[in-house]
A and B are shown apart, each in its own frame.
Chain A
Amino acid sequence: MALDQSFVGRSYPPTDAYEVGREKIREFAEAIGDANPAYTDPEAARALGHPDVIAPPTFPFAITFKAAGVVVQDPELGLDYSRVVHGDQKFAYTRPVRAGDRLTVTSTIEAVKSMAGNEILDVRGEVHDETGAHVVTAWTKLVARGADAQRDGGEA
């Protein structure tokens, strides 16, 4: 079933604030095996000019993808999530996410396409802090593989 084109440009209301904790950043940095002290040691982060420990560049995805759930699971859009793989991912940063941030995400559907039997959905997540200042934008391309489409990469 083709996705509804009228969803292009639709924005969803901002999420409740996600509070970024030092220990969550530490856990994430350890999970990716990254020993950069800017992620775990407030002194090291301050020496680089940051007010507290910062998060690795891909950390915001955990927040934006959760926020994109309202899009992915919107019954009116009609995306078959069991067939979805992650096609592309991009981030543009105004500043790194850091401990103490209270972040909200506003998700917008940028594009809905059908290609070679696949349904393609582009979602943009704008992340702002508690003062309303922009922190990072995440672009996520999701591909719902058609029943007959050949799997060639991507990841869910």
Chain B
Amino acid sequence: MAAGIAYDDVEVGTELPPQSFPVTRATLVRYAGASGDFNPIHWNEKFAREVGLPDVIAHGMFTMASAIRVVTDWAGDPAAVVEYGVRFTKPVVVPNDEKGTVVEVSAKVAAKLDDHQVRVDLVATCAGQKVLGMSRAVVRLA
């Protein structure tokens, strides 16, 4: 599972290219279908408000899937990811318009580990708030 980035070429603090991920209601409907998560808080505004949310929110797993793209696009082979974990700290609120919202993801190498592995720490924000906490991946490099 060779990755495109060499272990010897990265240092603690190396930044991965950041990415922005637009999210609209259509994105959520499509993700619901593909993932099988049909919880109405992800598509029904009335239901979301009834359970105390400000509006429809994105699936946490959609945000998690988006964030790791910063790592898999950098590493080349998605199989380079050997561990990945997040905490869902704030919901990603998705308004009912064509613009929706945007999740911004940045990441940097936080530690060099044994066996050509590095720990990458990710930061995901939406509307200026951190939406993932403790977001970390262990990645095996070439």
A42 CB to nearest B CB, Å: 15
A20 CB to nearest B CB, Å: 13
Q: Which of B77-134 contact A (CB under 8 A)?
A: 77-79, 81-92, 134
- Which chain B positions have C-beta within 8 A of A28? 34-35
Chain B contact surface mostly: mixed
Q: Of the 9-residue stretches A4-12, A86-94, A114-122, A125-133, which lies at the interface with chain B? A: A86-94
CB of A102 within 8 Å of the partner chain: no
Interface size on A, residues (CB 8 A): 40
Interface residues on B, range: 35 or more
Task: Name A155's contact: one of B21, B77, B88 (CB within 8 Å).
Answer: B88
CB of B14 within 8 Å of the partner chain: no
Evaluate whether A155 and B86 lie within 8 angstroms (CB atoms) in the complex, with A31-B30, A31-B34 already known: no
Task: Name A54's contact: one of B2, B66, B79, B89 (CB within 8 Å).
Answer: B79
Contact indicator A88/B88 (Cβ below 8 Å): yes
CB of A73 within 8 Å of the partner chain: no
CB of B41 within 8 Å of the partner chain: yes
User: In the assembly, what is the distance between CA of A48 and CA of B33, in Å?
Assistant: 29
Contact indicator B89/A48 (Cβ below 8 Å): no
User: In the assembly, what is the distance between CA of A91 and CA of B81, in Å?
Assistant: 10
Contact indicator B78/A90 (Cβ below 8 Å): no
Task: Name A90's contact: one of B57, B66, B85, B92 (CB within 8 Å).
Answer: B85
User: In the assembly, what is the distance between CA of A139 and CA of B89, in Å?
Assistant: 17
User: In the assembly, what is the distance between CA of A153 and CA of B134, in Å?
Assistant: 14
- Which chain B positions have C-beta within 8 A of A38? 77-79
A-B residue pairs, 10 tightest by C-beta = A90-B85, A31-B34, A155-B60, A32-B65, A58-B65, A153-B89, A96-B79, A153-B90, A48-B77, A28-B34
- 14 A-B interface contacts by CB (under 8 A): A27-B33, A30-B30, A32-B69, A57-B65, A57-B68, A58-B61, A58-B84, A89-B61, A89-B85, A90-B86, A139-B85, A151-B52, A151-B53, A155-B58
